[in-house]
Amino acid sequence: MGEEPRRIAIIGAGPSGLFTAAALLAQGGDDLAIDIFDRLPTPFGLLRYGVAPDHASIKAVATTLARVFEAPRVRFLGLVELGRDVSAAELVAAYDAVIYAVGAADDRHLGIPGEDLPGSRSARQFVAWYSGHPDADPQPLAGVRDAVVVGVGNVAVDVARILLKDRDDLSATDMPDAVLAELRTAAVEHAWLVGRRGPEHASFTTPELRELLETPGIGVELLGCDLADIDEEALERHARANLAAIARAVDASPAEPARWLHLLFWHRPAELEGEGRVQSVTFAPTAEGGSAVTVPADLVLRSIGYRGLRLPGVPYEDGRIPNLEGRVVETDGSERPGEYAVGWIKRGPVGLIGSNKKDAAETAAHVLEDLAALPPRPLEDLDAVLAARGVRPSNLEDWRRIDLAEIDRGTIRGRERTKVEAWHDLLALVSRP
């Protein structure tokens, strides 16, 4: 590569964006200047706002991801939002390569009657709230006794666990104080996890399922299917392990537990009912011979998958940016040189944090391959464009100040960290010139 550093913009400082920066540095060396943008003043995306607060060991990946910021030509530009503060065209004019790593910030809908009743919410919003995301809506829980979670993926498992877990066991996490206080107002006695197919098809992973099933003090009931009828020979190992975990938990259930986890399979939600707010959900059978089930519900969380949002000026199709191994293409398949996608906006909302590493390596390899084939071109100065518009990005120092404030908040409460969740508190910690 030439002597002038090639300039790369990564839009989104979550795991996929940071893994991509690391892969670019590893594969392309130090003669790259990488600007990592985020609409928040904090890096780490879903690691900070999606991974459950009681999964501290996964969150520790942040330490590894943060190493990219130690490279001399890597900058963090927070509080810059594509579409609000800067356009895709301006980014393309200012960088040799623009990589979209924005994740999947929307959720899917059921499209059934009653879905919008008060008390029916998306698991994505619920997760954002208990993770202290500054944009999260409050989630009133007072008096919630019966909670229904639609979907049987790992997000469903996370939210069911948070609802069932002893509140004292959550107080060691980094959850904001207001969240912990609100969770204490709920008195969940029954949590339902409902899958439209069988337990052998569920997308939760075995360690996450086991952790939920082993929540202290709960009883586990299996409905809608009989494990003995499932042909295990035909199943993959993880599905067999899931069935074994369920069988063990049902067998080991105390006779009169304080709280119940009901696993209902082969049922899809048909309607949410209630006067002024949700009071029950009716599930229709999806297997032959099944019958409809109506479950009382003070809270319904639909946990049926995330969905990528459309970025202004960037091709979009069915929740993703159309791409060929990370190279962005138009919806008709024609090329968009210089633009790339990585993570959930590239491949859809599936996979664990670590899945992003391989994905990032693929996109990074294509970026470097294309840069090597293209001569440098004159680039606009994006800093000047932003300054002229009055946009003042936050930087790594600002993030460090937020980080320290959270650690301080935690220390006085006897916890490792307590999240700063309000926009005004975050912005008060950002000192922009």
Residue ranges in contact with ligand NAP by CB under 6 A: 110, 150-156, 158, 195-197, 201-203, 205, 208, 268, 303-306, 349-352
Which is nearer to ligand NAP, 78 or 198 (by Cβ)? 198
Within 10 angstroms of residue 249's Cβ, the number of other Cβ atoms is 22
Which is nearer to ligand NAP, 201 or 248 (by Cβ)? 201
Within 10 angstroms of residue 349's Cβ, the number of other Cβ atoms is 23
CB 355 → ligand NAP: shortest distance, Å? Answer: 8
Q: What is the DSSP string of 202-224?
A: ----HHHHHHHHT-TTEEEEEES
CB 18 → ligand NAP: shortest distance, Å? Answer: 17
CB 97 → ligand NAP: shortest distance, Å? Answer: 27
Q: Report the C-alpha gap between 256 and 59 in whole angstroms.
A: 35
Q: Report the C-alpha gap between 102 and 14 in whole angstroms.
A: 8
Select from 60, 76, 61, 63 the least CA-distant residue to 21. 76
CB 195 → ligand NAP: shortest distance, Å? Answer: 5
- Checking phi first, is residue 56 left (phi over 0); if not, alpha (psi -120 to 50) or beta? alpha
Which is nearer to ligand NAP, 290 or 351 (by Cβ)? 351
Contact yes or no for 183/170 (Cβ under 8 A): yes
Q: Report the C-alpha gap between 79 and 90 in whole angstroms.
A: 17
Structure tokens at 69: 């910021």
Contact yes or no for 297/118 (Cβ under 8 A): no
| DSSP 8-state symbol, 311 | P
Which is nearer to ligand NAP, 196 or 320 (by Cβ)? 196
- Checking phi first, is residue 189 left (phi over 0); if not, alpha (psi -120 to 50) or beta? alpha
Q: What element of type H or E holds 280?
A: strand 280-285
Which is nearer to ligand NAP, 155 or 391 (by Cβ)? 155
The β-bridge relationship of strands 106-107 and 120-122 is unpaired
Structure tokens at 302: 């639909």
CB 58 → ligand NAP: shortest distance, Å? Answer: 7
CB 326 → ligand NAP: shortest distance, Å? Answer: 19
| In the complex, residue closest to ligand NAP by CB | 153
Within 10 angstroms of residue 140's Cβ, the number of other Cβ atoms is 14
Which is nearer to ligand NAP, 202 or 396 (by Cβ)? 202
Which is nearer to ligand NAP, 27 or 125 (by Cβ)? 125
CB 304 → ligand NAP: shortest distance, Å? Answer: 4
Which is nearer to ligand NAP, 78 or 151 (by Cβ)? 151
Which is nearer to ligand NAP, 141 or 152 (by Cβ)? 152
CB 424 → ligand NAP: shortest distance, Å? Answer: 29
